[in-house]
Chains A and B, each alone.
Chain A
Amino acid sequence: MEVADMTMAALMSGRPAVVPVLLRHGLACPGCAMAPFMTVREAAEAYGLELGPLLDNLTAADRHPALSAEIG
């Protein structure tokens, strides 16, 4: 499944390295009650963020977990 269509909860539990990136982008998804129900695409829209750059940073963090805190 494409990252954009994963729910936030599935993304965070499958790829914990993305959590700092989400926080850097100002997303309150970690720990949020809505995370199991909203996709990455919907979250980007709700926060008024461009989907493309967000996805780039999320996949980059997932490839280099140690760097994830530096990205965003």
Chain B
Amino acid sequence: MPPPPDPALLRGMPLFAGLGADALADAVGLARPRLHPRGTAIFTQGEPAAAGHALIDGRVKIVQTGPDGQQVVMRFIGPGEMFGTLAIFTDGLYPADAVAVADCVELSWPAAAMTELMDRHPMIARNALSIIGGRLRELQNRLREVATERVERRIAHALLRLVRQAGRRVEAGVEIDFPLSRQDVAEMTGTTLHTVSRTLSAWESQGIVESGRQQVVIRKPHALVAIAEDLPPVPKRE
């Protein structure tokens, strides 16, 4: 069952940061809670952007498909993050698919409700601007990486971005708490499945990462950072 709309759901969400209890109640009052089972589409590329979205629980993958059918993973969305919201302020079409990669609970606000909320509580618009600014910066970094970096560094950077977003300390190291396939990593870094497999296998044999079918654990965090940032090798201690 969808959760009852409780303003507490919005606490901790960057989109609603700094808002008072009244504003939160106003926002949650206009929200529609929905459940999306794992594997289903929340919205699809090219569909009219009917709403702004925020994830309460679960994981969402944002995937864009090019005219040639090639897919690119734009980003993963975790609990508390907004998604699909920009389209209501641009051309009114969702630019990518949003797929639930785990069972998801989301809130959405019809386009008119979202713009009205932003008019009534300008802090929401400022928060959205700051979120979009952060994502733009991330995309600029990715663009630079694709244009200038060896594929190995791009893969390392992609894993570090996922750690920043969804890292979790575990016994063996740092786990990326996402169902993440090698194909996903290929689509995030503009390379092929073959190259990702070859790279991850090499890192596995060096004990840097450990990857299951859907799970990645970074066993030597510093070694991965060193690859991503081209750090000098660690001098051997005597």
In the complex, whether B235 has a CB less than 8 A from a CB of chain A is yes
**Interfacial residues of chain B within 119-175, with CB under 8 A of chain A in the complex:** 160-161, 163-164, 167, 169, 174
Minimal Cβ-Cβ distance residue in B for A38? B221
Known: A34-B174, A37-B174. A48 touches B229 (CB 8 A): no
Contact A28 B167 (CB under 8 A): no
In the complex, whether B9 has a CB less than 8 A from a CB of chain A is no
A 23-59 binary contact with B (CB < 8 Å = 1; else 0): 0000010001110111000010011100000000000
In the complex, whether B112 has a CB less than 8 A from a CB of chain A is no
Contact A48 B161 (CB under 8 A): no
Contact B164 A33 (CB under 8 A): yes
Distance (whole angstroms) from the CB of A26 to the closest CB of chain B: 8
Distance (whole angstroms) from the CB of B170 to the closest CB of chain A: 9
Distance (whole angstroms) from the CB of A65 to the closest CB of chain B: 27
Contact B234 A37 (CB under 8 A): no
Q: Choose one: A32, A33, A38, A47; the contact of B234 (CB below 8 Å).
A: A47
Contact B169 A48 (CB under 8 A): no
Residues of chain B contacted by A46 (CB below 8 angstroms): 220-223, 234
Distance (whole angstroms) from the CB of A13 to the closest CB of chain B: 15
In the complex, whether B231 has a CB less than 8 A from a CB of chain A is yes
User: Could you tell me the distance between the alpha carbons of A22 and B222 in the complex, rounded to whole angstroms?
Assistant: 15
Q: Choose one: B221, B231, B234, B236; the contact of A34 (CB below 8 Å).
A: B221
Minimal Cβ-Cβ distance residue in A for B237? A48
B 160-204 binary contact with A (CB < 8 Å = 1; else 0): 110110010100001000000000000000000000000000000
Minimal Cβ-Cβ distance residue in A for B232? A26
In the complex, whether B225 has a CB less than 8 A from a CB of chain A is yes
Q: Give 26 A-B contacts (CB < 8 Å), ordered by A residue.
A: A28-B225, A28-B229, A28-B231, A33-B160, A33-B164, A33-B167, A34-B163, A34-B167, A34-B174, A34-B218, A34-B221, A34-B222, A34-B224, A37-B163, A37-B169, A38-B221, A38-B222, A46-B220, A46-B221, A46-B222, A46-B223, A46-B234, A47-B222, A47-B234, A48-B234, A48-B237
- Known contacts A28-B231, A33-B167, A48-B237; 10 additional CB pairs below 8 A are A28-B229, A33-B160, A33-B164, A33-B225, A34-B221, A36-B167, A37-B167, A37-B169, A46-B223, A46-B234
